[in-house]
Structure 1
């Protein structure tokens, strides 16, 4: 088996980090960009439509990976990602630019699923969990870095943030030079012909959707929460959100130790409990900025204990023949959660009401996965007997 060097690992991490910036790279210059395209009333669609594109094209991405292998799929996805992303500069009109953003989401689905699939082919067991945790850290770190770059480029002109998408072609060069070509191989997967049933995969995909929805409810409402209660401006809010991403990076590094000490579902349950606690703090701590910071830290840890872990669980519950399809489903469910979070604005104009509803759903999720964990323990006990 070809070993993957440290630079090869970095190459796959760089590719994975592109997924977080698909919608957010242009956010710092969103006002100028929306004015240029004449879509001021639908500006947020420029950031959310790529998520819809991931949802729509994920099944196609899965079939592509299962047919040509993760390496070739990632190669193709990186080419498309850079080309579609930067081409928006030369488009005009509402329909062309919105179509471009949806297609960019399709390229993202390929990159996200195939980069994880390729990583899974080089590592197994505990090492694989550590690598996928590192991938989660890279994605969040990429969000911090690319948002900062987007802000600088946005100051030069509306079109410059789109140039960030060309980093995909840099990742492509790293892939060609430092990652050994391999078809989807039959490492240990050939030995585990019994794949976990579809219900188990669905429970993990549902966890990914719910975790991403809860995380993004906090992420998209916090700017308004911080402005209303503490008078924070855009720069200070940006630092606050970057702090949450940094905490998510730290928690993703801790997550493998949590899984080793407890279990995967117990760690997921901990993540959802942290989300719920974070929303409770936000709903009662409107007069103390220290509580807002605490809520951000707790929610950041919730992300690190859920999304990277769910990604790893999907890999572990798959084999070579269906890994691409299952990872594509994971991409679809996580971005669907991100897309669904954008509808919270229609629930209420009172953020406390939104947070209390999130708390209620958090408790329902905790109950569901507690019962699921109890059922799994009972099943394992019966199998041992």
Structure 2
């Protein structure tokens, strides 16, 4: 990729002002808002609104159904950012996030809540895709990894704050956490008044929009990997509250504190990613992440009580912190400047698609054998992907040691 960002600096045509920096760093908060506020109150919503066996699945889908429209919102947000620029996309998405997110303050119907959550998913993923596109378009190399790590770290920190706040609000009733979606308004204000007139990517690159077919340039392997990462990430989000309830903990605030451990560790790991990126390959980072998440979910499933859950989720944070920055940084290396938005959108869309898919797949296991079985399924997936990366690492080193002068096998390239 050849552009002014190759040196890790902003384009001279579009200097980084306070609004652009704020948007790039805080856009991930939209994902925390999309997924996080309902996590501690799922058991309360279940008790209030689940009146038949099918309703219990709908309650769980309140968290993960957002993935259905995230799959659409992320690619659409990335495409529109490439074509129209970031400001318009962010402003509309932030307003939609606020309007749809606060619907839980007055809706009583599970189907209606599910419908509102679909709009939340589309808006939140569009915000995330747009802000990540800004990072990938403005920076390259280690600076891109540093900013992406900071973006993900701040998203994790926001989740760290939102979880106990949501839990405290949940003590007054299951509706109160929906008020947190009013936080979309400050981000909309920054986009309106602080963000520069971000031009479409093809204008920054000095060329017309690319007419290439998607299949000719998009690195599909990253979409597959994103589905695996999403599945591993979202299973604990859905089933951890029910594991805690099974262990005798029903307070939303206490449930939120358990999520505090992995969010803290994940935020620290994300912040360190920019430095680690200089010495660790993307293959090795992915292998480390999947080893940690697989081990963590195994601990959570087989060690009884709250202790097992807390220890397991702390280890889980070690792996989760590198997933998204490593995935997005590696994918960005494969495409040109005017393809960054679509690449971010499609990879993030695949990541979000995993949320409803993994819930539908593992819910029968959870009903039959308990929430521990869902965690075991996530751990098994982690170890399967770990085996793939382990094989790739060994094979790459073997090829490089035998034929040093030959180029790297294309099928082995993930970064």
TM-score bucket of the superposed structures, by smaller chain: 0.7 to 0.9
Alignment CA distance shift 1:363-1:148 (3 Å): closer
How much has 1:116 moved relative to structure 2? 0.8
Distance 2:153 2:184 in 1: 18
Cα deviations by residue, 1:39-80 (Å, 9 ceiling, x for unpaired): 764322322222222124444334322321233322221122
User: 5+ unaligned residues in a row in structure 1: which ranges?
Assistant: none
Alignment CA distance shift 1:195-1:308 (3 Å): farther
Name the count of aligned residue pairs.
382
How much has 1:104 moved relative to structure 2? 1.9
* Deviates further, 267-276 or 177-186: 177-186
Alignment CA distance shift 1:25-1:279 (3 Å): closer
CA contact (8 A) 1:26 1:150 kept: yes
CA contact (8 A) 1:4 1:179 kept: no
How much has 1:201 moved relative to structure 2? 2.6
Q: For residue 320 of structure 1, what is the aligned residue in structure 2? A: 337
> Aligned-pair RMSD on alpha carbons?
3.5
Structure 2 residue corresponding to 1:161, chosen from 156, 177, 180: 177
Q: For residue 298 of structure 1, what is the aligned residue in structure 2? A: 315
CA contact (8 A) 2:23 2:131 kept: no
How much has 1:346 moved relative to structure 2? 1.3
Distance 1:276 1:31 in 2: 26
Distance 1:340 1:166 in 2: 29
Matched, 1:11 2:23: yes
Q: For residue 272 of structure 2, what is the aligned residue in structure 1? A: 254
Distance 1:35 1:358 in 2: 26
Distance 1:332 1:33 in 2: 27
Q: For residue 223 of structure 2, what is the aligned residue in structure 1? A: 205
Distance 2:181 2:305 in 1: 40
Distance 1:28 1:353 in 2: 20
Distance 1:22 1:198 in 2: 33
Q: For residue 66 of structure 1, what is the aligned residue in structure 2? A: 82
CA contact (8 A) 2:163 2:259 kept: no
How much has 1:369 moved relative to structure 2? 1.9
User: 5+ unaligned residues in a row in structure 2: which ranges?
Assistant: 1-11, 410-415
Matched, 1:272 2:290: yes
Distance 1:60 1:376 in 2: 36
Alignment CA distance shift 1:38-1:275 (3 Å): closer
SS in structure 2 opposite 1:43?
Answer: helix
Distance 2:95 2:245 in 1: 40
Matched, 1:372 2:392: yes
Matched, 1:75 2:91: yes
Matched, 1:333 2:350: yes
Distance 2:377 2:246 in 1: 20
Structure 2 residue corresponding to 1:123, chosen from 133, 139, 143: 139
Q: For residue 133 of structure 1, what is the aligned residue in structure 2? A: 149
Alignment CA distance shift 1:52-1:382 (3 Å): same
Return the TM-score normalized by structure 2.
Answer: 0.79
Distance 1:280 1:32 in 2: 27
How much has 1:243 moved relative to structure 2? 0.9
How much has 1:16 moved relative to structure 2? 2.0
CA contact (8 A) 2:60 2:238 kept: no
How much has 1:277 moved relative to structure 2? 2.0
| Equivalent runs, 1:134-153 vs 2, <5 Å | 134-153=150-169
Cα deviations by residue, 1:211-251 (Å, 9 ceiling, x for unpaired): 2212332343333444545x444343321211111111011
How much has 1:127 moved relative to structure 2? 1.3
Matched, 1:98 2:118: no
SS in structure 2 opposite 1:306?
Answer: helix
CA contact (8 A) 1:278 1:299 kept: yes
Distance 1:47 1:282 in 2: 21
Distance 2:41 2:152 in 1: 26
Cα deviations by residue, 1:161-217 (Å, 9 ceiling, x for unpaired): 3332221121121223333222134699679x9999969832223222212212332
